Amino acid sequence: MILKRISVVFTGGTIGSSRAGGVISPDADNGSLLLDLYKQKYGAAEFDTVAPYMILSENLCAENLLALRECVSKALQKGCGGVIVTHGTDTLQYSAAYLDFVFGACGVPVVLVSAAYPLEDERSNGLDNFAAAVALIRSGEKGVFVAYRNAGDSFTTIHRGCDVLPHLPLDDSVYSLFDSPCGYVKGGRFEKNPRYKSADSVDLSGNELCGEVLFVRPYVGMSYPEIPQNAKAVLLEGWHSGTLPTGLADFRSFCLKAKQNGVPVYLTGSQAGFEYASKQAFAELGIRVLPPMSPVAAYVMLWLL
């Protein structure tokens, strides 16, 4: 079997940064370092490289996502065997969901990798994640994925792009929806997870990012924001039981104002069952319940629709 070249897209993040004077910043030379480290440990491999931008991922914006989409699209058009995107961990979920919606059905594996520490730090998982991405591409698995080894694990977990959940506070670990990742890379080989349960696949490859989606996560004592005039949707993230504070006047006023202005309101994080009384007001307030999916994926999906 002839292995096609892998396209590596460098975008910055900790995996593409160095520490100088106690400060971690993107470093254009880290791309070469990553590939050199891989070849030293795992042997020769054929890579094509490109860097559409170099940022810390907390600064990710729509313009970056559009540039990333164009870059991945060009790599796929050249007939590469797969694409690896090096990315910062903070906003990894947004790019992963976006690329999944756009390229999930393209038939070529696209894998995002990041790192908890710069590559020169012995604690870094960056090389492990990159090596797992190469192994996944060589396995023939198709789709958009995230490869990430959580601290304390001896293996790298493979997550579907749309399934990745937001990070817990002060924790770089990556987790999948339903605690059910696609699989694992162990000993350099990809193993499917027999318990894998994914959200429904959505192909939005013909769609563009447009409009503004107001993403609101209610909290106790919250003052609800004004709905922007150009908002095309409001996304609410429910409590763990899929409920919302429908008994509070401020929340009700917020939802009814959106309804009056013709702005649809969606809820993510709810599923069938647990029919609390607070859910009975959803129809009155114009709240539409989305299928179970990562809140970030729900946000990106509405942004694309």
Please state the domain extents for the chain: 6-192, 212-304
b vs e for 204-223, b when ≥16 Cβ sit within 10 Å of the residue's Cβ? Answer: beeeeeeeebbbbebeeeee
The CATH fold assigned to 212-304 is Rossmann fold (3.40.50)
Residues of the chain under the 70 pLDDT cut: 1-3, 198-200, 274
Q: How far apart are CA 277 and CA 73, in angstroms?
A: 47
Q: What is the pLDDT of residue 1?
A: 45
State the residue for tokens 């919606």: 101
State the pTM of this model: 0.95
In the CATH hierarchy, which fold is given to the domain comprising 6-192? Rossmann fold (3.40.50)
How far is the C-alpha of 258 from the C-alpha of 264, rounded, in Å? 7
Q: Please determine whether the domains at 6-192 and 212-304 fall in the same fold group of CATH.
A: yes
Q: pLDDT > 70: what percent of the chain? A: 97
